[in-house]
């Protein structure tokens, strides 16, 4: 076991070094660090068996916490880097993208899954509905690798990049109650479990999400005020912001999870509260350091995913699952944003909606929900299908992000992109 852990640690450290040395070159190859980490995991695991799967121990718990911590870092980074005026100026289009987009994406994904994989009508619809909500959230981890970097900043207007970042932070948490509702419906049909709608409304929606968001925001404000006062009093240096933000993020993640709340949305909202109190002080903004910390957690989780990819599960699904994965990546989001385009205010327009609709990758959020559903609902189909869709998204979205950004920039005035 110690030998295996050391091999995994050496591989991850090597990937960090390669990423630090070659990140700009990697992006010139129309690739991302996520793709390289995933490929490295596949080579070290399934291809060479340098790290056999059985040597990793409890893979489910390992992947669950790797996903949670990685998402927490990505959401913390997104919240702390968000410009203060963005939410106020773009609250309407953002609400349309988050709420309308989630509903339409879930609907389109349900239809795609049912067409490609379904057998019986009622059972297939509920199964497709559950899997669709797992695959609905836009992933903040993969999104960060797509919309960050010098090329993305030069080619794509800041409001569009902020909109995707903000959306990926919000809808990850908002998808949770719908996943729980879909799972309850599935259990009611397949196992005869009682469907307690009041319990779902009060506990899942009210306690786990609404109360969690309110509590996290208040804690963020309190932490931010304390940070401001300590900075004004000269008790801290600028370099202590990063460990403070890291400690606050992990405190929210572990504390809210122990309280049975939705720690994912809590981390995002809590760091928004923190950013609303400290972002006015230019000395406290450390975007590059925060982004670097986020990338440090992104590489390990996709390396681990490469190690544990369910090859036998993929084979058991058949070739139609591959077709389903590609169709979901291509058609889950783009039609939704095009339909919503007239409602997007300053973000409306065919080209803008098309780019927003194309860049909406799946990743760690879907993996986490798939693991939870597999454990709670005893649904073995969730993990292989979701991992197949995530891999397809990482390959397609990662390789096309700069290409699509350049295509958008060629047809957009330079002054609009500034």
Q: Which two tokens stand for residue 170?
A: 């919000």
| Residue 45: per-residue pLDDT | 87
- Supply the CATH number for residue 218's domain: 1.20.1530.20
Q: Residue with structure tokens 């948490």?
A: 173
CB atoms within 10 A of CB 62: 14
Q: Which two tokens stand for residue 104?
A: 């339409």
- Whether 207 is covered by a domain: the verdict is yes
What sign for the dihedral angle of Cα 58, 126, 135, 369? negative
Cα torsion 346, 327, 125, 368: sign: negative
- Running DSSP on this structure, what letter comes out for residue 48? T
| 17 phi and psi angles, rounded to 5 deg | -65, -45
Confidence of residue 293 (pLDDT cuts 50, 70, 90): low
pLDDT of residue 283: 42
CB 152 within 8 A of CB 144: no
- Would 401 be classed as within a structural domain? yes
The structure tokens listed for 92 are 């309407």
Can you say whether residue 360 is alpha, beta or left, with left for phi > 0 and alpha for psi between -120 and 50 degrees?
beta
The answer to whether position 14 is within a domain reads no
Q: Name the CA radius of gyration of the chain, rounded.
A: 21
pLDDT over 70 at 252, yes or no: yes
109 vs 376, more confident: 109
* Average predicted confidence (pLDDT) for the chain: 84
Sequence-distant (6+) residues with CB within 8 A of 246 are: 76, 293
Statement: residue 279 has pLDDT above 60: no
Is residue 9 assigned to a domain? no
In this prediction the pTM is 0.89
- Which residues 6+ apart lie within 8 Å of 208 measured at CB? 176, 177, 260, 261, 262
Domain count, the chain: 1
Distance CA 237, CA 286 (A): 12
pLDDT in tens, 70-118: 888 888 887 877 777 787 888 889 999 999 999 999 999 999 998 888 6
In a domain, 342, yes or no: yes
Domain encompassing residue 190: 61-417
* Cα–Cα distance measured from residue 310 to residue 290, given in angstroms and rounded to the nearest whole number: 33
| CB-CB neighbours of 23 under 10 Å | 16
Q: Give me the half-sphere count of Cα atoms (radius 13 Å) on the Cβ side of residue 145.
A: 34
Residue 2: inside a domain: no
Angstrom distance (rounded) from CA 127 to CA 183? 9
* DSSP conformational letter for 82: S
Asked if residue 290 has pLDDT above 70, the reply is: no
Q: Choose the weakest-confidence range: 196-210, 271-285, 338-352, 378-392.
A: 271-285
pLDDT level of residue 218 (50, 70, 90 thresholds): very high
Q: What is the pLDDT of residues 110-162, one digit of tens each?
A: 999 988 886 555 568 888 999 999 999 988 777 777 776 667 777 888 888 88
Backbone angles phi, psi at 332, to 5 degrees: -70, -40
Residue 18 lies in a domain: no
Please tell me the predicted confidence (pLDDT) of residue 123: 62
């Amino acid at each position: 076991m110690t030998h295996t852990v050391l091999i995994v640690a050496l591989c991850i450290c090597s990937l960090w070094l390669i990423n630090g040395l070659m990140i700009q070159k990697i992006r010139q190859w129309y690739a991302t660090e996520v793709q390289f980490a995933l490929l490295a995991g596949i080579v070290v695991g399934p291809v060479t068996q340098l790290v056999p799967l059985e040597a990793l121990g409890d893979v489910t718990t390992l992947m669950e916490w790797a996903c949670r911590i990685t998402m927490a870092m990505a959401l913390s980074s997104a919240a702390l880097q968000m410009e203060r005026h963005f939410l106020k100026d773009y609250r309407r289009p953002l609400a349309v993208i988050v709420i309308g987009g989630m509903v339409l994406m879930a609907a389109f994904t349900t239809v795609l899954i049912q067409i490609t994989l379904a057998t019986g009508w009622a059972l297939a619809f509920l199964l497709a509905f559950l899997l669709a909500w797992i695959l609905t959230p836009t992933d903040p981890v993969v999104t960060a690798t797509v919309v960050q970097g010098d090329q993305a900043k030069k080619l794509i207007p800041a409001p569009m990049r902020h909109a995707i970042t903000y959306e990926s932070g919000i809808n990850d948490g908002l998808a949770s109650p719908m996943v729980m509702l879909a799972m309850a419906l599935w259990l009611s049909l397949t196992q005869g479990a009682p469907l307690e709608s009041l319990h779902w409304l009060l506990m899942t929606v009210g306690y786990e999400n609404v109360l969690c968001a309110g509590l996290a925001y208040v804690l963020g404000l309190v932490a931010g005020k304390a940070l401001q006062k300590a900075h004004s009093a000269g008790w801290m240096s600028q370099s202590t912001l990063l460990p403070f933000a890291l400690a606050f993020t992990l405190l929210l993640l572990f504390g809210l999870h122990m309280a049975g709340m939705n720690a994912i949305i809590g981390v995002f909202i809590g760091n928004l509260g923190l950013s609303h109190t400290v972002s006015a002080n230019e000395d406290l903004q450390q975007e590059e350091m925060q982004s670097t910390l986020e990338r440090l957690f992104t590489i390990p989780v996709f390396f681990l995913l490469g190690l544990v990819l369910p090859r036998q599960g993929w084979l058991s699904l058949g070739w139609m699952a591959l077709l389903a994965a590609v169709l979901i990546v291509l058609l889950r989001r783009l039609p939704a944003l095009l339909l919503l385009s007239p409602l997007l205010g300053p973000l409306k327009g065919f080209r803008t909606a098309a780019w927003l609709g194309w860049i909406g990758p799946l990743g760690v959020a879907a993996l986490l929900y798939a693991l939870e559903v597999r454990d709670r609902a005893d649904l073995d189909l969730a993990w292989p299908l979701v991992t197949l869709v995530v891999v397809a998204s990482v390959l397609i979205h990662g390789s096309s992000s700069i290409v699509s950004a350049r295509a958008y920039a060629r047809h957009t005035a330079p002054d609009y992109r500034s």
